[in-house]
Structures are given as C-alpha cells and as structure tokens.
Amino acid sequence: MNAQWTIGIIGGSGLYAIDGLEGAEWRRVETPWGEPSDEILFGRIGAVELRFLPRHGRGHRIAPSDIPARANIDALKRAGCTDLLAISSVGSLREELEPGRFAIVDQFIDRTVARPASFFGTGMVAHVSLADPVCQRLSAFAAAAVQAAGGRVTEGATYLAIEGPQFSTRAESELFRQWGCDVIGMTAMPEARLAREAELPYALIGMVTDYDCWREGEAPVEVAQIVAQMAANGAIARATIAALAIHLPRERTPSPIDTALDGAVLTAPERRDPDLGKRNAAILARLDGCNA
C-alpha cells in the first residue's frame, strides 16, 4: 500500500481553487465513463500531493443531476489519489448548525433518483458495505483542519441528498428533520457510494449556507443568500485544505477502506462482462494485481 498521502479534493459551490498550491498544473484525465466535470488541478502543499476537481466544473456549469460522478471518481483514482475530501455547500436542518458553520458528515440518506450509482452491474455484480460511508480517520483530520483555519465545526452530521435542482418544499424540509437529518444537499450521492467502490476513503465537509425552509416565519432560502454565504465560507475552506495538508501524519498507514472490494465481486471471473471489466480497470487494478 502507498505510504504517501495523495488527497483528492472535490470542490463544490464556492470552492474553485486551492491557495498555496505548489507546482500547480491543470491536466486532462480521460476515463472510460466519459469526461469528468473538468480537468484536474495537480499540485502539492508541503509533502502532501493534492488533486483538485471542481465538481460543477469551473464557472459552475454542470447541474447537480448531470454531474458525471463515475467519471469524476474514476479520474481521481487514475490521478493517484489515496483519499478523497469532498467540500460542499449545504442547507441546515438544525438550529444549532447556523450559516457559516462547517459540518463533518458521517451518515447519508439518499433521495436521489436519476443518477448512475455504481461502477458495477449485470455482467460484474459487486456489493460493498456502506454501513459507515465515510472514513473516520480522514473526517477527524478534516475537523481539526477546519478548527485550525478558524472555522466553527460540528462533527457527526447526517446528510440528506436530494435530486434537485429545486430546493425542498416546507413539508419535505420538516419531514427530513423528523428523519434525524442535519444538513441537506444535492451532490454527495452517489459520490460517496462510488468512492467506496473505488476503495477511496472519503470524508465530507459541509459548509452551511442557509436554514433551508423549515423555520416558521422566515423567508425561504434564495440563491442570493446562498452565494453571499458561500463567499464567506470559501476563504475558510481554502485555509482548511492547507491546514489539512500541513498537519497530516508524515506516513499514511493503511485504511480498511483500501480493501473494500475484497470479497465484494460475486460474478465468477469466467462469467464477467469483459467490456465492464475494461471500464473498471482503474477500480479493479489492485485486485487484478493480486490475481483475485
């Protein structure tokens, strides 16, 4: 296993660059799943290699339902990433998660309906565990980095993923609160699912921009309000990435997620779809190297 950290940063709304990146170079990474959202920005901070991918593309041109999540995760895998940190704007479903606060997500409820959610399927069936969908180690490092950057942070949030692009109705917002959800967004699924299939430890920092629409007597969320808060959150988010790179342990010890596919592919080798196998060459490279 690679003892060197190579952190993939998937930046959402309000984060389109990384401050202090050395040797920065945008590179096109081709994938068998189509074009990723954008080129990947290669660089480093100190001893840590970084790979930055703007989730919506530079200029925010890709709608949530159209984000090519499989291509994005595959491209980051091909770019040598060992771990993925997603940074996303979210709405708050809790009074104590006020705009400007950062929430470290540890669970998801997925309400998306129109997005390919797996690298696998008929011809190559695989089932990975998603009971604990984020990497606790990377999440803890991310929380510490937010604090080091001067941000207010809450750990252990449940993220409700909706299809969008519209915001919730008031009835939906209240229902999601009753379900125990803490924040709401449109982009973390199937991203987190695909990261697990790609054996990439994944963590998500939610940047709270608004209170959705559940608060009585308050106007519903508007884009202008979100954009203003994103600008304020963005500076802390960029400082968080630098703090994470500086404070990571010198050596990356193995994670259980590095071997998430062990025993997960159920289709017998001789019965596998060769075309799907070729498309998954980057995802299955470790297993193929082990002759599994």
pLDDT confidence band for 217 (50 / 70 / 90): confident
> Residue 80 falls within a domain, yes or no?
yes
Under 8 Å between Cβ of 84 and 10 = yes
40-91 pLDDT tens trace: 999 999 999 999 999 999 989 999 999 999 999 999 999 999 999 999 999 9
Average pLDDT value for the chain: 93
Under 8 Å between Cβ of 212 and 92 = yes
Q: What percent of the chain has pLDDT over 90?
A: 86
Tell the residue number behind the tokens 């290699």, with chain if given: 49
Sequence-ordered list of residues with C-beta below 8 angstroms from that of 63, at least 6 positions apart, any chain? 164, 165
> Residue 1 falls within a domain, yes or no?
no
- Residue (of 217, 182, 200, 235) closest to 86 by Cα position: 200
pLDDT confidence band for 230 (50 / 70 / 90): confident
Choose, from 212, 258, 262, 273, the residue flagged as catalytic. Answer: 212
Find the angle CA(254)-CA(2)-CA(149) to the nearest 5 degrees.
Answer: 75
Supply 5's token pair: 């950290």
- pLDDT (average), residues 257-270: 96
Instruction: Count up the domains in the chain and report the number.
Output: 1
Annotation says 212 is catalytic:
yes
Whole-number pLDDT of residue 232: 78
Q: For helices 223-247 and 136-148, what crossing angle results, to 10°?
A: 100
> Residue 12 falls within a domain, yes or no?
yes
Q: What domain range is 91 assigned to? A: 6-289
Choose, from 38, 182, 210, 258, the residue flagged as catalytic. Answer: 210
> Residue 87 falls within a domain, yes or no?
yes
Cα(91)–Cα(168) distance, rounded to whole angstroms?
10
Whole-number pLDDT of residue 289: 65
Q: How far is CA 122 from CA 92, 146, 152, 191, 261, in A?
A: 38, 42, 45, 21, 17
Q: Is the pLDDT of residue 291 over 60?
A: no
> Residue 160 falls within a domain, yes or no?
yes
Annotation says 74 is catalytic:
no
DSSP string, 51-107: EEEETTTTTT-S-GGG--HHHHHHHHHHTT-SEEEEEEEEEESSTTS-TT-EEEEEE
Give the residue, 290 or 154, on which the prediction is more confident.
Answer: 154
> Residue 136 falls within a domain, yes or no?
yes
Q: Is the pLDDT of residue 229 over 90?
A: no
> Residue 151 falls within a domain, yes or no?
yes
Task: Provide the CATH number for the domain around residue 77.
Answer: 3.40.50.1580
Whole-number pLDDT of residue 184: 98
pLDDT confidence band for 166 (50 / 70 / 90): very high
Relative to beta strand 153-162, strand 183-185 is: parallel
